[in-house]
Structure 1
């Protein structure tokens, strides 16, 4: 029996990640600064961060650390407004690598929260993008991670609400939340659809593939919000779903008896990692070598 491996075309770096890494690569190539820092991890992928660590790039979370003549690159997720202001007060080079979609969300929040009584943010409590989005709020803000948490928020009658989302959240759940809010009594609602198209397309393709396969692999950093979201979406349609970072985590027993295997990856997963896993899956599921079809030690 020949097993198919269905690889998502959308798997891998999104536009925002590619732009951020391109800026860092150019800074390293033309380095004139004493040192190059990123404020927080530039993206959420351990293998990529290890690569840049080897190039001398240091991750910081304190604006006091850089000295005059240093360069600080603002990560793809963005930083809180107050942090950026503190950095710009220093005699250092600032390179803003905030994803354009995240930057747009920040500015939309700043503008629309000024004419709202409450801001509702659908996102992860500890995610750096969300911390940045919250810093642009000009009214009271409520953060929730899912529909269940949203329903616990006591909506004040006749208040003006602004609903916004972290750019990598589950689009279907956001639409359900927006619909729930719309039907609340006596509230004026501003809905800002800030989930980026790349996230939407990646999730839709993941759903399509997961519905066709017996086993699904989602590749990316475990601290990557968009990768975790892909995993959550995929396992709704394929219960035999695994979130991995590298091919070393794959046990051949995972795909035993499968006729179709799915593979997708988060927005911060390098193509080299995806291809390595894709090729490895082909080897272990179609090889006649017994050593590749038994549990590895």
Structure 2
């Protein structure tokens, strides 16, 4: 992915040492363990470096961007060096849990904490569908991209929330409501198929992120040697913001396999792949 605009923050400990912010525009990379190839990687540096030098000698070091990572080649010296990175602006990072939308503009994520981080490849209006055991009476405030919606847990479980206007290539934090186990984010207008496994049972869910009712056909392709009680469905009059689902029982060889629904619901049909463990 091309370099994106990050958010203010700090770096976690790295395999080679630690990154310390000395001022708003200066990083010190303290090397505790020199890699065999003499290259260190600082993941998620969104601010462009001005120059990268060895701290005590001022010697310029070779560096490059690899996506959102800064890769520096260390000098050939006996002692572990300290690397000084002068930045072109305030430090901004891309958190390691950042999920970037796929080619259809869809993010499918399982939050690991109380905040998720999203990035869109293109500017778009999006909505969010939440899944998880939430208190239906609890009041929630869902904030993304500077816009907040106050909703109940009941609304979160039944319909999409939005729209939010997400700018291109910018990391945005999203506070995760208590109990949420999965979130789908899609551009407004999309009809999205997603997979939700539970043991040998698999729910195929279609969510209408559009503003008009939707209809279409759903097929669940399976790898050779797999079978399911049902593999195709038809839906009609799916209201905006709502979902419809079917549960099928699948059997097949053990292991992890990526499945993806084939959805025909018009021009904005999309499908989110999911890794299934049997």
Higher relative contact order (CA 8 A, sep 6+): 1
What range is the shorter-chain TM-score in? under 0.3
Return the structure number with greater helix share. 1
TM-score normalised by the chain length of structure 1: 0.24
Structure possessing the higher radius of gyration over alpha carbons: 2
